[in-house]
Structure 1
Amino acid sequence: MFPLEEIANRTCSGYRTQHPHAILYNILSGREIGYLDNKLKGNATAHNCHCGQRRTVCLKDPKATGQVASGVLEKTVCFVRSLPSFGQLPSQDQSLLLIHCWVPLLVLGLAQEKIVFEVTDVPNSSILRQILLGPGLTGKEADQPTLAGVHKLRSCLHQLWNLDLSPKEYAYLKGAWLFNPAVQGLSASLSVEGLQQEAQRALREAVHLLHPEDPARLSHVLLAASSIQAVSHGMVTELFFKPVIGNTNMLHLLTDMLFVQ
């Protein structure tokens, strides 16, 4: 149903609403490693300041970086569509699965392609306003990229880079994220659960074959992957794709990409 080589040998391998029963949540809890970009952290005082962490940021080169991120997203959707087991699921299930996991898959793609990016302060961003509003921020304002949110994303990327994952490890991690039977509204949840179990098994076997001398390798891989749950869907959309798609609905765009002929 989910052969070991199926998702590793795709020719187009690319690369919060989260769910408590997903494999990557239950095996290990995500804890971030403090990898902070020198261009952002400044001095130690600024780094430890909660006000600084709330600073609203944007891409330093939004057009170029947005295009790169869009390319990774296209490869991600191409990878998903190339899986026969995914294509055999009902169309509604396909859409639900992609909508709920596109950010983890994108982060894995950014890591796999070694994508780096720079951010800068948003002009006229008021730290005082953010502090005063705090919990009263609207949903749209809460999704605005902050320094803290960027640190979380970069932490995930650094953890994955430090492991130097193989294409097979990336592919099976994507499968484990994609086939999440806990997504609400699935009509074929049992099939999805079976596919997730196959992805888990394939990942374990690949890690063992590639790193037989490192019994802790799988735990490290899962820990790094589980940290992706801390990355906000809204933040990723606003940071990477808002400069490219404007007011286009991201979820509608994903659905169109998935089912385009």
Structure 2
Amino acid sequence: PHCLKCQCETSHPQSILYQILNKEEQDETRWHPQYYHPCYSISSAGCPCEGNRKVVLRTPEVTCMRASEVLLKTITFIRNLPSFYHLPQEDQALLVQQCWAPLFVLGLAQEWVNFELKEISVPSLLKKILLNQSLTDSDKVENSSLGASLVDVQKMKNFLEKFWNSDICAKEYAYLKGIILFNPELPGLRFRHYVQTLQQEAQRTLMEFSSMMYNRNLGRFAWILGLLASLKAVNAETIAELFFRPILGEVNLNELLLETLYFKQDLL
């Protein structure tokens, strides 16, 4: 089959504006199956412009609502940890701001939140603007967001697929969230030793649970911890751009998270 050429491989002797206005427009694509076509694979493409491709949610009105629910459940999980409140507020704020993104992705996995994407066609939007053509509702949704990195979003989707194929139970998710939240490696922590103790306790509890459930076989425990390492690649800005900018705009998500965390619990 004929492989799609990358835009950076095309050249035209005319001006940049001419190239933008006359570039062939590609149809919007669903995440699958085309993205898994051997000629359309990000992992094998190796093209320098792959990292510049941007995507938005195909159904933001549905997915953003589910994402907001997952984020609220994530904050509720933190609020229900008595040990968290033994830390000074500076450490609490640091942990939340630095760990909310991987916790959120774990929440997406636990709630089985899947989502479809569409790639932003920047040249076609610019063409309509320059030619003073009216934008459709779909164009306005795309234009309201800068879009998230396709490469980063694919990493997150790959992580979700691995967890969905692992049959993780609710208790395992809770222990994993504790391991993620209490990260003693964050610079600036005042009670680093206490945070480390809490993380070790979560790891020990997860190990004991896995040993009990799987006939003292710790292979699953080690494998799940290995999965958590991939969460370090989760980009908080990508998550904010994809799931929350369409509904929150330019709101500072870190500040919103802290306000929600310390909001009166009986109002949640």
TM range (shorter): 0.7 to 0.9
> What percentage of aligned pairs have identical amino acids?
40
The answer for the alignment partner of 1:154 in structure 2 is: 157
Q: In terms of mean alpha carbon deviation, does 180-189 or 40-49 score higher?
A: 40-49
Residue 109 of structure 1, CA deviation: 0.5
- Distance in 2 (alpha carbons) for counterparts of 1:125 and 1:224: 38
1:221 paired residue number: 224
Please tell me whether residue 211 in structure 1 is matched to residue 209 in structure 2: no
Partner of 2:198: 195
1:259 corresponds to: 262
Partner of 1:38: 32
Hey, what does 2:142 align to over in structure 1? none
Aligned to 2:89: 91
Q: Does 1:173 align with 2:160?
A: no
1:103 aligns with 2:106: no
Amino acid at match of 2:167: D
2:234 maps to amino acid: V
The one-character-per-residue Cα deviations of 1:15-49 (angstroms, maximum 9, x if unpaired) are xxxxxxxxxxxxxxxxxxxxxx5245153112133
Which letter does structure 2 place at the counterpart of 1:258?
A: L
- State how far apart, in whole Å, the 2-side matches of 1:77 and 1:40 are: 36
Unaligned runs of 5+ in 1: 1-36, 127-142
Considering only CA atoms, is the larger Rg found in Structure 1 or Structure 2?
Answer: 2
Query: Which whole-Å CA distance do the structure 2 matches of 1:201 and 1:91 have between them?
Result: 26
Q: Aligned-pair distance for 1:105?
A: 0.4
Letter in 2 for 1:159: K
Give the secondary structure class of the aligned counterpart of 1:117: coil
- 1 CA distance for matches of 2:52 and 2:95? 31
Cα distance change of structure 1 residues 42 and 160 upon mapping to structure 2, 3 Å threshold: closer
Shift of 1:71: 0.5
Q: 1:132-160: CA deviations, max 9, x gaps?
A: xxxxxxxxxxx951221111001111111
Instruction: Label 1:89 to 1:123 Cα distance change in 2 as closer, same or farther (>3 A).
Output: same
Q: Secondary structure at the match of 1:163?
A: coil
Residues 210, 218 of structure 2: 8 Å contact kept: no
Assess if the C-alpha contact under 8 Å between 1:56 and 1:125 holds in 2.
no
Aligned to 1:239: 242
Partner amino acid, structure 2, of 1:71: E
Structure 1 residue 53: Cα displacement: 5.5
Q: Distance in 2 between matches of 1:163 and 1:184?
A: 32
Give the AA of the match of 2:152.
G
Of 77, 80, 105 in structure 1, the residue corresponding to residue 78 of structure 2 is 80
Task: Give the 3-state SS of the residue equivalent to 2:118 in structure 1.
Answer: strand
Counterpart in the other structure of 2:110: 112
Instruction: Give the secondary-structure state (helix, strand or coil) at the position aligned to 2:168.
Output: coil
The whole-number CA distance in structure 2 between the counterparts of 1:53 and 1:250 is: 24
> Cα RMSD over matched residues?
2.0
Cα distance, 1:214 vs structure 2: 3.9
What is the CA-CA distance between 1:234 and the residue it aligns to? 0.8
* One-letter amino acid matched to 1:70: S
Q: Which residue of 2 aligns with 1:65?
A: 63
Q: CA deviation at 1:123?
A: 3.3
Deviates more, 1:239-248 or 1:49-58: 49-58
What is the rounded CA distance, in whole Å, between the counterparts of 1:147 and 1:103 in structure 2? Answer: 17
Q: Which residue of 2 aligns with 1:18?
A: none
Structure 2: tracts of 5 or more residues without a match: 1-30, 125-145
Which gives a bigger RCO, structure 1 or 2 (Cα 8 Å, sep 6+)?
Answer: 1
How far has the Cα of 1:238 moved from its partner? 0.3
Other structure's SS at 1:57 match: strand
Question: How far 1:185 sits from its partner (Å)?
Answer: 1.9
Summarize the Cα distance change of 1:175–1:206 in structure 2 as closer, same or farther, 3 Å threshold: same
